[in-house]
Amino acid sequence: MQWELIPRRGIRTARTEILLGSSREDNRALMAAVPLSRENHRDGEDQFVGDGTMIFLRYQGDVLDRIMFIHGRLSLDGLELHETTWAELEPALRERGYTFDGPKYFADGLECPELGVNIATWEDVGGDGDGIEWVSMWQQ
């Protein structure tokens, strides 16, 4: 399943848009049309898993304030953001004019203010290698 990043706003697939600031009830209804199963392991978080995809939607009360894309295919204008390595991704994003700062909202990874994302590698979170661990967005 292919997802697309909507910079500073959310993610979308063919028929579904998940936007920061939206309600949990609305997102559950939208995700019911996507072939992913919903799992709940924490209060304030819905996890959607299946077909090689894993997405965490985290809420403050009923309002979506964080999207964590953990596994799967996520792109921006044809550039793969997740199923790649930092060595491939970083120069491609810089070439498009995007910049990176140290983490401010997350403990790990780098933040791209223009896209409103934090990108962490396996090594950033204590593993080995520069594969992408997550692409995360938060309500700013």
pTM of the model: 0.93
Q: Is the pLDDT reported for residue 40 higher than 90?
A: no
Q: Phi and psi dihedrals of 101, rounded to 5?
A: -125, 160
- For tokens 């979170």, what's the residue? 125
- Backbone torsions φ then ψ of 27, nearest 5 degrees: -65, -40
Q: Backbone phi, then psi, for 58, in 5-degree steps?
A: -110, 140
Burial-class residue 126 by CB neighbours within 10 Å (0-12, 13-18, 19+): exposed
Sign of CA dihedral 128, 49, 111, 105: negative
- Over residues 66-124, the pLDDT tens digits come to 999 999 999 999 999 999 999 999 999 999 999 999 888 888 999 999 999 999 999 99
